[in-house]
Amino acid sequence: MNDNHDYIRWFRDASPYINAHRGKTFVFHLGGEAVSHPNFQNIIADISLLASLGVRLVLVHGSAPQINQQIEAKGLASDYVGEVRITTPDLLPLVLEATGKVRADIEARLSMGRPGAPQSASRMTVVSGNFIKAKPLGIVDGVDYHHTGAVRKVNTEALRQQLDLGATVLLSHTGVSPSGEIFNVNSAEVATEIAVALLADKLIFFTGEDGILDDQQQTINELPVSEITPSEFSAYHPLRLAHNACTRGVDRCQIISFITDGALLEELFTRDGSGTQVTRTSYEKIRPATPDDISGIVDLIAPLEEQGILVRRSRELLESEYDRFTVIERDGMIVSCAALYPFENKAELACLATHPDYRDNDRGELLMKEIETQARRRGFEALFVLTTHTVHWFRERGFRQIALDDLPASRKSLYNYQRNSRLLEKPLS
């Protein structure tokens, strides 16, 4: 029964994302390591699920390990310059053979559909083709790259036509030049250029890690593109490519694990995801509250009112005073709020609350500073707070305890002596 309750809760929480993703265009990059991993079949099942939910999908696969196997089997060697393979005329047939096998395998898996789905819901139309025009890298610093190339142009109109028809587009990392030559192009570059050409809603990279890790080996949940310095990363690093895509019009890029089962669904259908999201602008923002935020504020402060930490406020009161509030919105959810009330020459910071799941990134302090800025901008001499539980927290942030007689007269008349709240104040001059 508990399992069912967990499922029902998850489904309700996921429903806004199901609706939000319908009709959107997602581009996936699946490197050859992801394709050969045992979890790949689960990824295919999850991709099929996305297709059934109305998401427009473009899949770009790599095949570097598979190419290496072909080359080794023939007793040949492959030279690199940095991350770039030099595709000589002798290697090109092996590249095409390995790439073709990988593409055919993915197409076959996609055609199987989702396990347990009705036959009619299992059918996916998978389309491949010459949607990519390539150009040679040529001779660089005396090195002839032969059949190694780069993306020259994406046939955006043809891609959109296939997506409009409900097809899932599956593309390899080879492209043809106008003269008919075939070039081996980096698959991550192909995925990035397609996402930019389509102005995709998401570009998703599958890697061997749970996103980008910090110095403590913890996943970084979100990175605004402004915090990424591309030159710090190699040419085909996911962060460098994500920066490239976002600065050229892609809304969001996600970097997730191909090893962790369900990472894709967790990333797309939960608020905090499973990997690292790179955004053009932060999807968590501080802003003035609107009437539409009342329900979110009520949900946020109700548990604290029950515990006696906050003074009870009726919904009617909140609706009449919403313009006093500032909120932090995270992907459509109000995760923190605070209010500013003017009293003569001072202002009160009230109703400072943060959702329990989001108390680890100093959001309360960010809101306190925002309210302080607002009060200073409006010319108040001091900011005060009445609290029963968080005296030390405010002291650590520059507030000092003062006598109740120092309350502005208009606020003192409203003071609840039964709560016996402490009065703390911070000068703003």
pLDDT, one tens digit per residue, over 239-274 is: 999 999 999 989 899 999 999 999 999 999 987 789
- Quote the pLDDT of residue 16: 82
- Quote the pLDDT of residue 115: 55
Q: What is the pTM of this model?
A: 0.73
Residue 246, C-beta contacts closer than 8 angstroms, at least 6 positions apart: 225, 252, 253, 278, 279, 280
Greatest Cα pair distance in the chain: 90
CATH of the domain at 149: 3.40.1160.10
Predicted confidence (pLDDT) per residue in 208-225, tens digit = 999 998 888 888 888 888
Average pLDDT over residues 16-21: 87
Same domain? 289 vs 182: no
Same domain? 44 vs 177: yes
Residue 57, C-beta contacts closer than 8 angstroms, at least 6 positions apart: 25, 26, 28, 47, 50, 51, 163, 168, 169
Same domain? 264 vs 329: no
124 vs 156, more confident: 156
- Assigned token pair, 214: 């910090």
Q: Shortest CA distance to 236 belongs to which of 68, 25, 80, 36?
A: 80
- Quote the pLDDT of residue 114: 56
Q: How far apart are CA 107 and CA 125, in angstroms?
A: 9
Same domain? 161 vs 208: yes
Same domain? 163 vs 33: yes
Considering 251, 282, 313, which residue would you say is the last residue of a domain?
A: 282
Same domain? 195 vs 243: yes
Is 341 within 8 Å of 350 (Cβ atoms)? Answer: yes
Q: Shortest CA distance to 287 belongs to which of 321, 251, 337?
A: 337
Same domain? 273 vs 243: yes
Same domain? 312 vs 182: no
Predicted confidence (pLDDT) per residue in 30-49, tens digit = 999 999 999 999 999 999 99
Considering 282, 298, 331, which residue would you say is the last residue of a domain?
A: 282
- Quote the pLDDT of residue 41: 94
Same domain? 324 vs 354: yes
Q: How far apart are CA 99 and CA 93, in angstroms?
A: 10
- Quote the pLDDT of residue 282: 66
CATH of the domain at 422: 3.40.630.30
Phi, psi of 424 (to 5 degrees): -125, 150
Residue 227, pLDDT > 80, answer yes
Considering 252, 282, 312, which residue would you say is the last residue of a domain?
A: 282
Phi, psi of 18 (to 5 degrees): -60, -45
Same domain? 157 vs 278: yes
Q: How far apart are CA 197 and CA 80, in angstroms?
A: 29
Residue with tokens 């395998």: 105
Angle between helices 64-73 and 92-112 (to 10 degrees): 130
Average pLDDT over residues 191-203: 96
Residue 427, C-beta contacts closer than 8 angstroms, at least 6 positions apart: 381, 382
Amino acid sitting at position 72:
E
Q: What is the mean pLDDT of the chain?
A: 91
Rounded to 5 degrees, what angle do the CA atoms 204, 207, 213 make?
100
Query: Residue 118 — pLDDT band, cuts 50, 70, 90?
Result: very low
- Quote the pLDDT of residue 359: 80
- Quote the pLDDT of residue 119: 43
- Burial environment of residue 163 by CB neighbours within 10 A (0 to 12, 13 to 18, 19 or more): middle
Predicted confidence (pLDDT) per residue in 336-387, tens digit = 999 999 999 999 999 999 998 888 667 888 899 999 999 999 999 999 999 9
Same domain? 149 vs 34: yes
Phi, psi of 354 (to 5 degrees): -135, 140
Phi, psi of 235 (to 5 degrees): -55, -35
Same domain? 247 vs 298: no
- Quote the pLDDT of residue 1: 43
Domain count, the chain: 2
Give the percent of the chain with pLDDT over 90: 75
User: Whole domain around residue 60: which residue ranges?
Assistant: 2-282
CA-to-CA dists, residue 200 to 77, 197, 221, angstroms: 38, 8, 21
